Amino acid sequence: MKVKTAEFVISNTRVDMCPKPLLPEYAFIGRSNVGKSSLINSLCNNKKLAKTSSTPGKTQLINHFIINDEWYLVDLPGYGFTKTPVAMKEKWMNFTRNYLRHRENLMCVFVLLDSRHNLLKADDEFMEWLGENGIPFVMVFTKMDKLDPRDVEGNIKAYQEKMSEKWSFLPQHFLTSSEKKTGNEELLAFIEETSKGFTPVNE
């Protein structure tokens, strides 16, 4: 799939105020600063579409973008950043979890994971929560350009081994770099394929 058009639609904190669920939707989530907004911009060839920052906690709302007038891409606030005040983190997490549990056209969640780290507690707990709630997700390793190519295989293997302790089968994974545009084609192909299974909800 080629991204021909990508436009911002709306930001909010309420699932009932999101666009009508008539198109397939994919949401990006992960720890603050993992590169969610950057990956969205890289996929859409537009550096200014989603707001990025080297300071964690940049994205604070549920942000809808419409791609090719065919599907929605959603940028969500990050979790796990220690410097954000607890009350604020709780607020973000509450509306984000509410969105994830109730958004009927949500086809798959992309859980972004920093490829330089091993499985972190915040990610582990979040993926467990997705599993418990029956929300489909894939793992997207980010910032591959920051990793020595010789370490890639070992890191992913270690990650999978750790995941296998808890999961009987592992979710699909993607290796990406927004900087180098690595993995974009694979992600877009996955979205195209998954969207074939979308059936609009009757109003």
Positions in the binding site for ligand GTP (CB under 6 A)? 30, 32-38, 52-54, 56-59, 77-78, 142-143, 145-146, 177-179
Any contact of residue 142 with Mg ion (CB under 5 A)?
no
Complex with ligand GTP: residue 54 or 199, whichever CB lies closer: 54
Which of the listed partners (Mg ion, ligand GTP, none) does 14 bind, with a CB threshold of 5 to 8 Å by partner kind?
Answer: none
3-state secondary structure of 110: strand
What's 6's DSSP letter?
E
Q: How far is the CB of 112 from Mg ion (least distance, A)?
A: 10
CA distances from 161 to 32, 156, 171 (A): 24, 9, 13
C-beta of 59 vs 96, nearer to Mg ion: 59
Q: Which residues contact 176 (CB under 8 A, 6 or more apart)?
A: 39, 42, 140, 141, 142, 144, 182, 183, 184, 187
Q: How far is the CB of 197 from ligand GTP (least distance, A)?
A: 27
- The residue sitting closest to ligand GTP, measured at its beta carbon, is 78
Work out whether 38 is an interface residue with Mg ion (CB under 5 A).
no
Picked from ligand GTP, Mg ion, none, the partner binding residue 63 (CB below 5 to 8 A depending on kind) is: none
Shortest distance in whole angstroms from residue 50 CB to ligand GTP: 7
Is 93 in contact with 79 (CB distance < 8 Å)?
yes
Q: How far apart are CA 131 and CA 126, in angstroms?
A: 9
CA 43 from centroid of its chain's CA atoms: 12
Task: Tell me the per-residue interface mask from 52 to 81 with Mg ion, x by CB under 5 A, - otherwise.
Answer: ------xx----------------------
Indicate the pairing of strand 71-75 with strand 62-67.
antiparallel
Residues that bind Mg ion (CB under 5 A): 36-37, 58-59
